[in-house]
Amino acid sequence: MKIVQYAERGNPVDVVKVLEVDAPSAGPGEVVLDVLASPINPSDVLTVTGDYGILPPLPAYCGNEGVGRVASLGEGVEDIAVGQQVFLPVGAGTWRQQITAKAAEIVPVPPGTDPLQMAMLTINPPTAYLMLRDFVRLEPGDWVIQNASNSGVGRYVIQLAAAQGAKSINIVRRAELADELKAMGADAVVVEGPGMSKEVREITGGAPVKLGLDAIGGDSTLALGDCLTDDGVVVNYGLLSGEPCKLSSAATIFHDVTLRGFWLARWFRNAPIGERMAVVTEIAGRIATGELVAAVDSTYDLDHISDALARSMAGSRDGKVLVTPNGPIDSQV
C-alpha cells in the first residue's frame, strides 16, 4: 500500500514522499481501515516544517484525522461491521491507504453523511466547540470576538456561536469576506486596523465582550485584547504570525484581561475517552444535520501529494484541501 512519509524537516512540497509498504493486518481487538479522506490542516504543515509545538521523531508519517471504511476485523472484535464508515484515530498518520485502529476506540460515522465533511471533524470543529465552551460561560446574546475568522476554526466558531444564540464579531484582513461570513451566521465583520476597538464598541453598544479567540499572535493578539471588556479572556490557539502573543497594559491593568492557551492535542491526551467520544458524537450530529459545514477546495490522491500540499498553502484557495488515498469521493454538500 501507499503511505506518505518525511525523513527531514523543511518545505512539505520538497520533503514529503510517497512510499510503498506492506499492507497492515488486524491483530486481536483491532480493525484495518481503508482511508477514504483526510484533510491537510495547518498543523500538518507546521509539523513537517518543524514549527509545531510537538514534533515526532524522524522519519514520520503525515496526517492527523479523517474518515475510513472497515476493511477487516481482528480476533475478538464484535459490534463493528466490515464496510462500516468510522473516524480515523487522531494523530495516527492518516495519509495512507490503510491503517489499523483499536476496535474499542472506534467512533462510527453517522450513516448517509458526507465523508468529506466528516473527515474534517476531529480537529477544527472540536477546537472551536471547546474554546466556546470551556473558558467563558456564554449566554444567548453574549458577544465573542475572533481573528482569523475566515480560517477553518473561525468558520466553525461562527456557526457554533450562532447555534447557541451568542453573537460573533469577526476580524478579517479582507473586507470582501464580510458577505460570505455573514451568510454563515456572523453578526459583524470588521477589518483589522487602527480604531478597531472603537468600532467594536459601536457594534456592541458597549455590551460586554468577555471572550476573544486568537489564532495569529503578535500585534493581532494585542488588537484583539484591546477589544475585550472587564475580566475578558483571550484564548490563543495558533501562531500564524510566528510572533509571541501580546497584550497591552491598558487591557491587563485596567480591564484585567487575561491570556490563556488552548491545544487540542493536550485536551485529547487528558480527557477521558467517554468525554472525547461524546464531543465527537455531538459534533458529528451537527454536521450530519447540516448545522455545521466547511468548504472543500479540492481533493488529491497520494500520487499528487506535492500538488495537494502546495494548494493547501496557497492563499487563494477556497476551503480545505483533502487527501483521498483510495480514489476520489464526491462531496454531498
Q: What does each of the 333 residues of the chain score in pLDDT, given as a tens digit?
A: 999 999 999 999 999 999 999 999 999 999 999 999 999 998 899 999 998 878 899 999 999 999 999 999 999 999 899 999 999 998 899 999 999 999 998 889 988 899 999 999 999 999 999 999 999 999 999 999 999 999 999 999 999 999 999 999 999 988 888 999 999 999 999 999 888 999 999 999 999 999 999 999 999 999 999 999 999 999 999 888 889 999 999 999 999 999 999 999 899 889 998 898 899 889 999 999 999 999 999 999 999 999 999 999 987 787 899 999 998 886 554
- What gap in Å lies between CA 330 and CA 333, rounded to an integer? 9
pTM above 0.75, yes or no: yes
Annotation marks residue 52 as catalytic? yes
| Contact of 16 with 309, CB cutoff 8 Å | yes
From 6, 52, 61, 129, active-site residue: 52
Q: Is 136 exposed, middle or buried (0-12, 13-18, 19+ CB in 10 A)?
A: buried
Residue among 146, 212, 158, 151 nearest 185 (CA) = 158
| Contact of 233 with 260, CB cutoff 8 Å | yes
Domains of the chain plus CATH, in order, are: 2-120+294-323 (3.90.180.10), 124-265 (3.40.50.720)
